[in-house]
Amino acid sequence: MKITLVKKILSDGSPCRKCADVLQRLEASGHLARIDEIVEAHETDPNSAGMLLAKQYDVDRAPFFIVEESGQPAQIYTVYMKFLMEVLEA
């Protein structure tokens, strides 16, 4: 299983408030180590890796998680608590 976190970087260069909160929760719970990749979606760069992933998966909010398992379509989570319960604590 591969887990990717996509977080938004605002036009002033700071992370979005919700993204920073989710990162803090992941770190405090010890789950940050289970995240394989963190990708940034730069508000000012539509070609940044995170913006391209958001477009590919038709996601319009951040942060979001992409969970990939071999032979299955990627699962997208836009709600942290749902991701926590269904993936990290499953």
- For 53-64, what is each residue's pLDDT tens digit? 999 999 999 999
Q: What is the pTM of this model?
A: 0.94
Predicted confidence band of residue 77 (pLDDT cuts 50, 70, 90): very high
Determine the straight-line distance between the first and last CA of the chain, rounded to whole angstroms: 13
pLDDT in tens, 21-46: 999 999 999 999 999 999 999 999 99
Q: Which class in CATH covers the domain with range 2-88?
A: alpha beta
